Structure 1
Amino acid sequence: MKIEGIIAYPVTPFKADSQQLDLEALTISLNALLESQCDAIAPLGSAGESAYLTWQEWQQVAQTTIAVVNQRVPVIVGISELTTAMAIQKAKKAEELGADVIMVIPVSYWKLTDQEIYDYYQQIAASVKLPIMVYNNPATSGIDMSPELIVKMFNEIDTICMVKDSTGDIQRMHKFHALSQGKLPFYNGSNPLALEAFCAGATGWCTAAPNLLGDLPKQLYQAIQQGDLSKAQTIFYQQLPVLSFIVKGGLPKTVKSGLNLLGFSVGSPRSPLQGATGAEIEQLKGLIHAAVK
């Protein structure tokens, strides 16, 4: 499966009074993301607070997302688990529910060897037929997979067919390209790197930004596709202050605060995460207004 363009990451809304899942708010925010012309929806990533959900909640979010999107665009379900067994359980559930792709990131308490990481992916791949996106984000997972390891898995594990890298190092993208002879599709997960990554040939941009910026991320992608670098630069710099703010402040906190500002009642992040302060909310309000005016 080839997915190109903007892969949008929804938050997981909670009710303000109880911090229970708010599936109605999830439905509203998913439809808004689809209106922003994103090319795929990826629930249960970092912005979706997947690490803070119960197994039952994880299933509810996956099921609701797949039902609401209803094949309008591909759904990429995120899986981040310490144990191989739980990752396989989630992979099987994602397949059963009708996901198009799974995005898999190993999470580390004990540091994992390359062989342990390889076996983790291989065993997940053996359990389902779904295409797998390898997700590398050492800031959240505690694991930094080398380009060499990722390309080795791409070459040897049939269903691994794409990589999302959130390190913010453009050199890694060049290395993926060189090591795989340009065959491994690269998806940029570092928001401030969006312009450089697209200019260097990234297949897509994985981002929570469309929640707050509408179709501005898609406009950036379209400008690159049209070969209009000047327009792409203008569109990128228009949104960069918001991108930098949400990355620095943490996605669940900042994106939820922004959505609440825009009239979507998505609640606060789940404890121990805390919502944005009054000063942060005011700053974000000004940044969003300046970007989308």
Structure 2
Amino acid sequence: MSIFKGSGVAIVTPMRDNGEVDYEGFAKLLEFQIAEGTDAIIVCGTTGESSTLTLEEHAEVIRYCVKTVAGRIPVVAGTGSNCTETAIHLSKEAQESGADGLLLVSPYYNKATQNGLYAHFKAVADSVKLPIILYNVPSRTGCNIAPETILRLCTDVENIVGVKEASGNIGQIAHLAAIGAGMEEGHSKVDIYSGNDDQIVPIMSLGGIGVISVLGNVAPAQTHEICQKYLDGDAKGSCRMQLEAMELCNALFSEVNPIPVKKALSLMGMIGGTLRRPLTEMEPANVQRLEKAMRGYGLL
């Protein structure tokens, strides 16, 4: 059974000016997401600056998120690492905290082989009972999870259920959908989520069941509706909303994520825009582009 369908927000981790996690601001964001109809919270992912959180902070942010959400929608915890033992440790911590599922990014920098990826993900999955979504984002990790490897993991390992596909390679995603289809009548063996906000509808048209979204941080109701319309059979309406969001989607990736989305939330008065180094403040020209896109989308 799928962990969720629809729009899962890859939520930011607010920081205070002194660099500490802003838990008060985080609670505000979580309540905003739930009130606006987001279908799931994905905490401590790329957008949550997980790579600069200490292990203690990482575990505490997940605990706080689970406690604050209090079962109202699923919480999926990002617990991936390029060290298998670290990923196992974080995954066990998330399970103990009450997370509903895990998101495991492919090991970065190591550039494992496909057999190495299989062994890594299986070892983490075998250490917990939670359902797991793999995260394929080769532009950040330098390592692509092949469709055959994803299908093999979803077939062999009971609690690996899907993938967040952020390769941007529609042909590869179509191949995954094709080889994963037909395992059960009317149900793919692999739950596919778009990992790119500009490809929600294209990926759902290939059998995807939703998105893990950056856009959802600032436009949760609209991102939910893009997915829900498609799930309800209104492909044209979903496509129209996807196209209306394109200028904002592009502006949110005019610099490396999560720099623009944190600036956007700051412009909306939701949180401060503080980032942890090595991320730095957004360039003025890109701030102007972002503001223009937000005004055009009705957010300012």
Change (3 A) 1:111 1:173: closer
Q: Is the 8 A contact 2:38 2:220 kept in 1?
A: no
Alignment-derived partner of residue 32 in structure 1: 32
Deviation at 1:276, TM superposition (A): 1.0
In the alignment, structure 1 residue 87 sits paired with structure 2 residue 87: yes
Do the aligned partners of 1:40 and 1:73 also contact (CA within 8 Å) in 2? yes
Unaligned runs of at least 5 residues, structure 1: none
Q: Which deviates more, 142-151 or 167-176?
A: 167-176
The partner residue of 1:222 within 225, 228, 244 is 228
Q: Secondary structure at the match of 1:247?
A: coil
Identify the residue that residue 190 of structure 1 maps to in structure 2.
196
Q: 1:111-260 alignment to 2 at 5 Å?
A: 111-181=111-181, 182-260=188-266
TM-aligned CA deviation for residue 289 of structure 1: 1.5
SS state of the match for residue 249, structure 1?
A: coil
CA distance in structure 2 between the aligned counterparts of 1:265 and 1:132, rounded to whole angstroms: 30
Provide the residue aligned with 1:5 in structure 2.
Answer: 6
Distance change (3 Å), C-alpha of 1:226 and 1:119: closer
TM-score norm. by structure 2 comes to: 0.93
Is the alpha carbon distance of 1:273 and 1:78 closer, same or farther for their aligned partners in structure 2, counting shifts above 3 Å? Answer: same
TM-score, reference length from structure 1: 0.95
- In structure 1, how many angstroms separate the alpha carbons of the residues matched to 2:228 and 2:108? 37
Separation (CA, whole Å) in 2 of partners of 1:45 and 1:168 = 18
Deviation (angstroms), 1:29 = 0.8
CA contact 1:29–1:264 (8 Å) conserved in 2 = yes
| Contact 1:213–1:291 under 8 Å retained in 2 | no
How far 1:161 sits from its partner (Å)? 0.8
CA apart distance, 1:70: 0.8
Count of aligned residue pairs for this structure pair: 292
Alignment-derived partner of residue 267 in structure 1? 273
Any conservation in 2 of the 1:44–1:79 contact (CA below 8 Å)?
Answer: yes
Contact 1:213–1:292 (CA<8 Å) still a contact in 2? no
2:170 partner amino acid: I
- 4+ aligned runs moved over 6 Å, structure 1: none
Which 5+ residue runs of structure 2 have no aligned equivalent?
A: 182-187
> Which residue number corresponds to residue 72 of structure 1?
72
What is the letter of the counterpart of residue 66 of structure 1?
V
1:12 touches 1:266 (CA, 8 Å); kept in 2? no
Aligned mates of 1:27, 1:229 — CA distance in 2:
34
Change (3 A) 1:27 1:176: same
Specify the SS of the correspondent of 1:133.
strand
CA distance in structure 2 between the partners assigned to 1:164 and 1:193 by the alignment = 12
141-150 vs 89-98, which moves further: 141-150
Q: After alignment, is 215-224 or 253-262 more displaced?
A: 215-224
Distance in 2 of aligned mates of 1:39 and 1:265: 22
Question: What SS does the aligned partner of 1:120 have?
Answer: helix
Q: 2:97 is matched with which residue?
A: 97
Q: CA deviation at 1:116?
A: 1.4
Of 94-103 and 52-61, deviating more is 52-61
User: Residue 184 of structure 2 aligns with which residue?
Assistant: none
The residue correspondences of 1:22-61 to structure 2 (distance < 5 A) are 22-61=22-61
Kindly provide the amino acid, as one letter, of the partner of residue 217 in structure 2. N
Structure 2 CA distance, aligned partners of 1:150 and 1:255? 29
Over residues 124-171 of structure 1, what are the superposed CA-to-partner deviations in whole Å (9 max), with x where a residue is unaligned? Answer: 111111111111111112210100111111111111111111011222
Residue 210 (structure 1) shift: 1.7
Q: Counterpart of 2:269 in structure 1: which amino acid?
A: G
* Aligned 8 A contact 1:188 1:204 in 2: yes
Range that drifts further, 195-204 or 78-87 = 195-204
Contact kept, 8 Å, 1:212 with 1:288, in 2: the verdict is no
Q: Deviations over 1:231-266 (max 9, x none)?
A: 222211211111112123222100100000000123
